[in-house]
Structure 1
Amino acid sequence: MKKSLLFIVNPAAGRTQSRGPLFDAVTAFSNAGYLVRVRTTAARGDATAIARDEGGDYDVVACCGGDGTLNETVSGLLQLERPPLLAYLPRGTTNDFASSLRISPRPAEAARAVERHQPRALDAGSWNDRCFVYVASFGAFTKSSYSASQAAKNALGHFAYILEGMKDLNTLRPYSLRLTADGEELDGEYLFGAVCNSTSIGGLMKLDPERVVLDDGKFEMLLIPMPKTAAELQELLLALLNQQYDAGGLIFRHVSHVSVEPEEDLPWSLDGEYAPSAGRVEIRNHQAALTILL
């Protein structure tokens, strides 16, 4: 009996790229012995609805698009009692999670992971009642991940995020919040915070792959506190530049549960998608909630 595969494609992602590799990807799925059904998205939330409503009928659900498409697909799969295997064909701009997993940016090559059939367990995160695959962040440069237009992302890639981030420099300011991470109280003023399960954040900040285990039930949390003096600012910038996240006053932890209560409006980014401010945010790690083919 043939196996079945649902292929969710976001046609808006990588719009300037040739469509030829997508046909090659479908061929690779077929050659691996799968009956393939292709579903395209037309609006935000479509991938979630497709994965939730149809994914349970398939052995594998593969999605092709950027980090936002992956987030939506996973959001749908996690609503199923028994999620099928996941495959990811990155075709967006930054593709942080694909970089962490060393997934090829070429769709046909990434599709061959299904044929190799090497499953790997992955943690997933919940942000109140929403999910995220690899990062929930707030503060400096967070807005640029979701405010850059799709056209700019397609045309400029990483530079689009940098341009958007530069617009935020004149409003760079700390956020005062109550924060508890696995019982440790870390109340304070922070310029930026991220809870992630990835070696790359926004395509700009890199974490040591040896310190990131994607199925250990722990997130990597990085907090950038507001420097009080010019010397502290210099130390902080040097630590970030040299990717020394245990130095310069930076706070780096491996955590499974984070609770955040901001004292003011605090928008978030979940896998590059906007999340509005909430009076209280509960972030939890769901260990090995998914299995991806690599």
Structure 2
Amino acid sequence: MKTPLMMIINPAAGKGGFKRSLPDALRLLSDAGYAVSLYFTECRGHATELATQYAGAFPYLLVLGGDGTLAEAIAGLMPLAERPKVGYIPIGTANDVARTIGLPKNDILAGAQHFIDGTPHEFDEGRRDGGYFNYVAAFGAFTEVSYATPQEAKKQLGEAAYLLGAVKSLSTLKSRHVTVEYDDGCIEGEFLYGSMSNSYSVAGLIDLPRDEIKLGDGLHELVLVKKLPNAAAMANLAAKVLSHDLSSEYIILKHTKKARFIFDEPESWTFDGENGGAHSDISFENCPQAIALIY
């Protein structure tokens, strides 16, 4: 008897080229012993609804789409008493999760084979006020790049769209006064950027040190970038970040289970690369080993 597999597909992810290879991928999964049930998303948030409603009946869930689709699907699993093991075929632009766990990007056949050959690993989920986030919640510099970049530009330019957006955002960088409470204390100051993450890569631009991060250790990474003294320092830091170098006196990295961010006025946030609205007081918490992620 074949193993039941729920597959959530975002038909709008990436350039849509994966559709040509979908029948071959389904045949590959079937030959490997899976009975695949397909569910297509129709709008933002639909993957959450599908996962909550149907995934409890399956031992495995395979998500085909971008990081946003994966985040939605995992959020939909959180209310379930028994959660399926989760596989991911990344079809999108930034693909931070794929960078982090070493998945083939924008290649549905290779992704299906990777799922078949992969093994489950413990993965922490993040809880935020009003919901969940999968790998990053962030404010400030570069965070608006993902959701502000036009969808057509993402399709045509891929990662270049994000890089162009990041360069354009340099002229609008501003600091904000923030108080951050975390496990080991409190930090207060003027910051250009802040985040809680469980990933090696953020927005396809920022790489965190892999030797300091474990994805299932019950801790999130708190990253803060301090206000810079002048334009030259800002340009130097931007160049470092874009070249994946975080060795700077202006960058703070902490490991924590919880964090609370308090602003003088509402601040715009992104959750897993999507617009998360403005918040003046917001808290985050690690949900340890919430998901078994296959890779």
- TM-score, length-scaled by structure 1: 0.93
Superposed CA offset, 1:127-186 (max 9, x none):
212211111110011111112122211111122123333443333211111111213211
Identity of aligned residues (%): 33
Give the direction of change, closer, same or farther, for the CA distance of 1:283–1:56 in structure 2 (3 Å limit).
same
1:240: Cα distance to partner? 3.7
CA distance in 1, matches of 2:23, 2:242: 41
Please, which moves more after superposition, 158-167 or 7-16? 158-167
Q: Offset at 1:52?
A: 0.6
Q: Which residue of 2 aligns with 1:92?
A: 92
Query: Aligned partners of 2:31, 2:294: CA distance in 1, in Å?
Result: 16
Change (3 A) 1:44 1:243: closer
The letter of the residue matching 2:202 is: I
Separation in structure 2 between the aligned mates of residue 113 and residue 54 of structure 1, nearest angstrom: 24
Cα distance in structure 2, aligned partners of 1:219 and 1:275: 19
CA contact (8 A) 1:235 1:249 kept: no
Which residue does 1:196 correspond to in 2?
197
2:125 match: 124
Q: Does 1:168 align with 2:169?
A: yes
Matched with 2:37 is: 37
Residues 59-98 of structure 1 mapped to structure 2, 5 A cutoff: 59-98=59-98
Deviates more, 1:34-43 or 1:235-244: 235-244
**Corresponding residue number in structure 1 for 2:108:** 107
* Greater mean alpha carbon deviation, residues 65-74 or residues 19-28: 19-28
Alpha carbons of structure 1 residues 256 and 245: separation in structure 2 relative to 1, 3 Å: farther
CA distance in 2, matches of 1:76, 1:62: 13
Q: Deviations over 1:222-258 (max 9, x none)?
A: 2111023567547745764665535322111111111
CA contact (8 A) 2:218 2:286 kept: yes
Matches of 1:116 and 1:234 in 2, distance apart?
Answer: 44
Shift of 1:65: 0.6
**More strand per residue: 1 or 2?**
2
Displacement of 1:41 in angstroms is 1.0
Question: How is 1:1-294 mapped onto 2 (pairs within 5 angstroms)?
Answer: 1-105=1-105, 106-229=107-230, 233=234, 236-237=237-238, 240=241, 243-245=244-246, 247-294=248-295
The amino acid across from 1:64 in the alignment is L
Measured at CA, do residues 20 and 113 of structure 1 come closer, stay the same or move farther in structure 2, by a change above 3 Å?
same
Q: Deviations over 1:194-229 (max 9, x none)?
A: 221111111111122222211011112221110235
Q: Which structure 2 segments of 5+ residues have no match?
A: none
Q: Secondary structure at the match of 1:97?
A: helix
Equivalent residues of 1:239, 1:248 under 8 A apart: no
- Deviating more after overlay: 222-231 vs 91-100: 222-231
1:57-114 Cα shifts (integer Å, max 9, x gaps): 1111111111111111111011211111101000011101111100112222221234
Q: Distance in 2 between matches of 1:225 and 1:89?
A: 36
Do the aligned residues in 2 keep the contact of 1:16 with 1:155 (CA within 8 Å)? Answer: no
Using the alignment, how far apart are the partners of 1:16 and 1:27 within structure 2? 19
Measure the CA separation in 1 of the matches of 2:32 and 2:212: 34
Whether the 8 Å CA contact 2:206–2:242 is kept in 1: the answer is no
On the 8 A contact 2:219/2:255 being kept in 1, the answer is yes
Contact 2:9/2:39 (CA < 8 Å) preserved in 1?
A: yes
**CA–CA distance in structure 2, aligned partners of residues 119 and 76 of structure 1:** 19
- Structure 1 spans left out of the alignment, 5+ residues: none
| 1:93 aligned counterpart, secondary structure | coil
How large is the RMSD of aligned CA atoms in angstroms? 1.9
Partner letter of residue 15 of structure 2?
A: R
- 2:134 aligned partner, one-letter code: V
- 8 Å contact 1:6–1:36 — kept in the other structure? yes
AA partner of residue 4 (structure 1): P
Seen in structure 2, the aligned counterparts of structure 1 residues 157 and 242 have a Cα distance that, compared at 3 Å, is closer
Measure how far apart 1:124 and its partner are. Answer: 0.6
